[in-house]
Structure 1
Amino acid sequence: MPMTHTPTSNCLNEWYRFIFNEVRDGIVLIDAGSGKIIDANPEYQRQTGYRLNELQNMFVWQLRPKEKQDEAERYFRQLTSQGMGSSVEVEFQRPDGSICPVEFFAGITNIEGRAYWLSISRDVTERRRVEEKIRYSENLYRTIFETTGTAMAIDDVNRRLMLVNTKFANLAGYEKEQLEGKRSWTEFVAPEDLERMKESSDERKAHPERHNPSTYEFVWIDRFNNRHNILINSDTLIGTPMTIASLLDITEYKQALVEAEKAQSEARSFRESERLKTELLSMVSHELRTPLTAIKGLVTSLLRKDVCWDPTDERDFLESINREADRLARLIGDLLDMTRLESGSLTMSPDWFRPEEIVSSIQSEIDNLCCAHHFSVSIEPRLPQLFVDITRIGQVLVNLIENSVRFSLNRTEINLKVTHGDGSVVFTVSDSGCGIPAEVGERVFDRFYQLHRGTRGVNGTGLGLAICRAIVEAHQGSIGYCSELGHGSTFWFRIPSGASIDGH
């Protein structure tokens, strides 16, 4: 009879301690009555972030995040009172604040007549990371699949629809649940295109290892017998016999192409003509009425026989009438100039003038415009003469200054500077008004464009800057601006010194 060897108590203790210390799962022994930690192996210490001597001074629920400790203690008491084991996933909060998710299995055992919880915990950090990546990947591709902008579907080896997005379902006239795994895409292909598409599908499925994308048009017939022109792009999911396809409904696009080919040019021309006519009539009726109403009111007041106006009041009235008449003259001038520009008949009468003479020629208009503002002029000395139409260049300056007045508060500064640089004389008008949004860009120079259309107290035809650009460019110059919303604008134009005017 062979002899058996029975390990001694010390050997068993060393054996169990070796397993306890070397096992890759955390092991902890907890007093069932108090919840205090009695012993823990090195892996459990790593999971919690505490050394053994620290753990032995803690209750097991104190390893949880602070906001969950009360709940954890109640759960521990409940399990202890019921004497039931537990398997659950929880999170340990380490001393440095980091979180270690674990899955633990616990059961009650009796040692020398005293109840203890023996718990085995497994770090699931990596598993969670993998699961999160899988969830992210699944959500990402599902989102892309669902929001790609086209109808999309994946079929199996039997041409059965395995996965479709909402656009595909809408195109078919069914809910997604009525299509996935239940219907074939062949049900929706027009008879004249079916055989061709089957052959293409069979070829892909016979050689799934090939990457063979194809794009073509076909006719789709939905559940309600409506016909759609479809542009399809399909390819094999590499390594599988399945096909992924995106379908774009181009029915309306093709119809629009036919209609556009017939009437696009005519419609565009008509719309533009109507728009300009409407804007012109609206602008003229409003802008003419405003100064005429003011002039009529002032003259009526002066002609009243029951009121004796003193000379100061009469002069104020007459100055107001003069300003409104100037405004009316500028409006009519702008309209006539725009008509001449459109017809190419705007003429220039150039001669040689010093920049100082140009500014002096409009001094009275500046005084009338800027009577409620602080206006300053700075002219660099010894500037070269310019071969210009002094009236037209003065018109540009008046337009720019008038815009600054219109969009600036009273008693704010408006500055005119005349400098020399890069072979040109540069006229700059700056203010501290409301500014121009960056997105407006060069549209400020378009005909009838009004930045603050409809704003009370802000009037204009939307023609001034368009005329300014035409005049400056006729002098072989350039015009532009810079602006910061809420902090004012600076408009400039440059006239090359010694340049001739177009046509002269």
Structure 2
Amino acid sequence: DGTLQYVNKYFAEVHGYRVEELIGKNLSVFHNEEQLKEVNEINKRLIKEGGYSALEVWHTRKDGTVFPMLMNGVLIRDEKGESQFLAATAIDITEIKKAQEKIEENERKYRTTFEHTGTAMMVIEEDTTISMVNSEFEKLSGYKKEEIEGKMSWNILVHPEDLEWMKKYHYERRGKGKVPKRYEFRALDRFGNIKNVFLTISIIPGTGKSIASLIDITSKNSTNFYRLYRR
């Protein structure tokens, strides 16, 4: 019937209560009306299935503030197999949620900057897979994002005569080798057109990924550029 038979100190205090205030109360004391609808559904599932794990459930403190908890539940039966108690463990994940939200906010800002930087951009995984591109990269390469991201290696976009030394740069860069961050190479778009592209690339700190910007300089006199930056 939802009557609290046992509550430990942590569970009581995280809700703003003392243990003795809670024994004999209904579990609805931990939830507002909207939250209680979800909790009742969860408890029905618990009785039917015998348990649940790692569910995010919102709670309400004594002062009315709401917060998320990560919960595990189990149905305890008596010797006859009849339902006797619903037992649950829970941990306050407020700080974890805040950290996740901050990461998501930073990612949105990063993606906005990445998309609107004005030049073709790509993020490259250690295995040479392109994991992220912007719309300018689509224009440069002739491929759509959905054809590229997570599916295509940058190798396919490089002229065969430039591929070996660029692959060498790729792996030396991750092995802390001394390689240039800026150079020109010949790119191939999806239609087989050769484009002279000036590339600026660096490793994303703390990862094996690299981020690169690409500028099409085909229409420019790039001979001196090429000699300056290609090793």
TM-score (norm: length of structure 1): 0.37
Residue equivalent to 1:387: none
Deviation of 1:153 after TM superposition, in Å, equals 2.1
Residue equivalent to 2:229: none
Residue equivalent to 2:7: 40
Deviation of 1:90 after TM superposition, in Å, equals 0.7
Structure 2 residue aligned with 1:244, among 211, 223, 229? 211
The answer as to whether partners of 1:205 and 1:236 remain within 8 angstroms in 2 is no
Structure 1 residue aligned with 2:171, among 205, 216, 219? 205
Q: What are the ranges of 5 or more consecutive residues in structure 1 without an aligned counterpart?
A: 1-33, 256-504
Residue equivalent to 1:164: 133
Secondary structure, in 3 states, of the residue corresponding to 1:97? coil
Structure 1 residue aligned with 2:96, among 97, 119, 127? 127
Deviation of 1:247 after TM superposition, in Å, equals 0.7
Deviation of 1:43 after TM superposition, in Å, equals 0.8
The answer as to whether partners of 2:172 and 2:178 remain within 8 angstroms in 1 is no
Offset from partner CA, 1:386-440 (integer Å, 9 cap, x none):
xxxxxxxxxxxxxxxxxxxxxxxxxxxxxxxxxxxxxxxxxxxxxxxxxxxxxxx
* Distance (Å, rounded) in 2 between the aligned partners of 1:108 and 1:159: 49
Residue equivalent to 2:52: 86
Secondary structure, in 3 states, of the residue corresponding to 1:224? coil
Question: How do 1:105-504 and structure 2 match up within 5 A?
Answer: 105-109=72-76, 115-156=84-125, 159-180=128-149, 182-190=151-159, 194-195=161-162, 198-199=164-165, 201-203=167-169, 205-208=171-174, 209-210=176-177, 212-237=179-204, 243-250=210-217, 254=220
Q: Would you tell me which structure has more helix in proportion to its own residues? A: 1
Deviation of 1:44 after TM superposition, in Å, equals 1.0
AA partner of residue 146 (structure 1): E
Residue equivalent to 2:66: 99
Residue equivalent to 1:65: 32
The answer as to whether partners of 1:151 and 1:171 remain within 8 angstroms in 2 is yes
* Distance (Å, rounded) in 1 between the aligned partners of 2:41 and 2:203: 56
AA partner of residue 215 (structure 1): R
Offset from partner CA, 1:8-37 (integer Å, 9 cap, x none):
xxxxxxxxxxxxxxxxxxxxxxxxxx2122
**Counterpart check, 1:54 vs 2:21:** yes
Say if 1:244 and 1:86 are closer, same or farther in 2 by CA, change over 3 A: closer
AA partner of residue 37 (structure 1): L
Q: CA RMSD in A?
A: 3.6
* Distance (Å, rounded) in 1 between the aligned partners of 2:202 and 2:145: 22
Say if 1:210 and 1:249 are closer, same or farther in 2 by CA, change over 3 A: same
Deviation of 1:207 after TM superposition, in Å, equals 4.9
The alignment of Structure 1 onto Structure 2 pairs a total of residues equal to 217
Deviation of 1:110 after TM superposition, in Å, equals 5.0
Secondary structure, in 3 states, of the residue corresponding to 1:38? coil
Greater C-alpha Rg: 1
* Distance (Å, rounded) in 2 between the aligned partners of 1:73 and 1:180: 42
Say if 1:153 and 1:122 are closer, same or farther in 2 by CA, change over 3 A: same
Deviation of 1:120 after TM superposition, in Å, equals 1.8
Say if 1:59 and 1:233 are closer, same or farther in 2 by CA, change over 3 A: same
The answer as to whether partners of 1:204 and 1:241 remain within 8 angstroms in 2 is no
AA partner of residue 128 (structure 1): K
* Distance (Å, rounded) in 1 between the aligned partners of 2:148 and 2:117: 19
Say if 1:146 and 1:80 are closer, same or farther in 2 by CA, change over 3 A: closer
Offset from partner CA, 1:279-336 (integer Å, 9 cap, x none):
xxxxxxxxxxxxxxxxxxxxxxxxxxxxxxxxxxxxxxxxxxxxxxxxxxxxxxxxxx
Say if 1:157 and 1:198 are closer, same or farther in 2 by CA, change over 3 A: farther
The answer as to whether partners of 1:218 and 1:231 remain within 8 angstroms in 2 is yes
Say if 1:177 and 1:59 are closer, same or farther in 2 by CA, change over 3 A: same
